[in-house]
Amino acid sequence: MATTNFPKIQGGGSLILAWQVRGRPILVIGGGDVAAGRILNCLDADAIVTVVCPSSGLNPEVAHRVATGVVTHIDRPFEVADLDTTPPPSLVMCAVDDPVASSQVYKECQSRRIPSNIADVPPECDFYFGSVYRDGPLQIMVSTNGNGPRMAALTRRWIGKRLPKNAGRAIVRVGMLRKKLRSVAPAPTEGEKRMKWMTEVCTKWSLEDFCEMSEEDMDKVLTYYAPNEVPSLKEVRGEEETEPEVFDYSFGWWI
């Protein structure tokens, strides 16, 4: 009999993706505090950012980005022609205090099939910004699907406080281990075995183990790949595995 024990569908969510925008043009309309956050997120993702806003509307952070040349600045209000560049913007983010103008931006983007985000107007957003915890390559996004941005920030802080301080370093180490593994077993025919072995290592080892892993540990654990074995960190270091002590009531008084 076929099983029906599948995950329950929970409608009303978003498709949360890690959108790769490296080297792609992104248009930000506005220059205030919200725009500053959008710009920083895009620059962190190595996008090519253009800001459309009169100079008088730039806050100190956005003005600094313009002055240092990390963004292109168009010193005037938005015009529809800003969407018809070659190449066109991959994404548009509008953060201006003008509901009518914002809605017009959304409609123009929709007609051109350009994904857009209109700040503080959830129905006119093709995508939302969540609250992001960042530690090196480690990124964790919390989204409330437009219901409560402050709650997303509270949840993100709660998660961040409970992660090891060097969790980002652990991710870097895993990336290094994968690269070393490719040099040990470069053949295309090894692909399936490599993936399965790395998956088993990541399943057996804890996040704390990866935080502690040194480059010497990496070289040693790779010696277990050929026989297709997955050692613990203690085995790699030649340390004895200790079993937890269990009180069996063999002495003392108990009730």
Contact indicator for 30, 96 with CB cutoff of 8 Å? yes
Q: Which two tokens stand for residue 110?
A: 């929709």
Exposed e or buried b per residue across 67-102, where buried means at least 16 C-beta atoms within 10 angstroms of its C-beta:
eeeebebeeeebeeebbeeeeebbbbbbbbeeeebb
CA distance 71 to 108: 23
CA distance 6 to 58: 51
- Check if 82 is active-site: no
* Catalytic, out of 33, 44, 46, 120: 120
Own/partner long-range contacts of 74-83 (Cβ < 8 Å, ≥24 apart): 74/50, 76/52, 77/52, 77/53, 77/101, 78/29, 78/52, 78/105, 79/52, 80/108, 82/27, 82/29, 82/50, 82/52, 83/27, 83/108, 83/109, 83/112, 83/114
Closest to 127 in 3D by CA, of 26, 246, 23:
26
What residues are labeled active site?
120
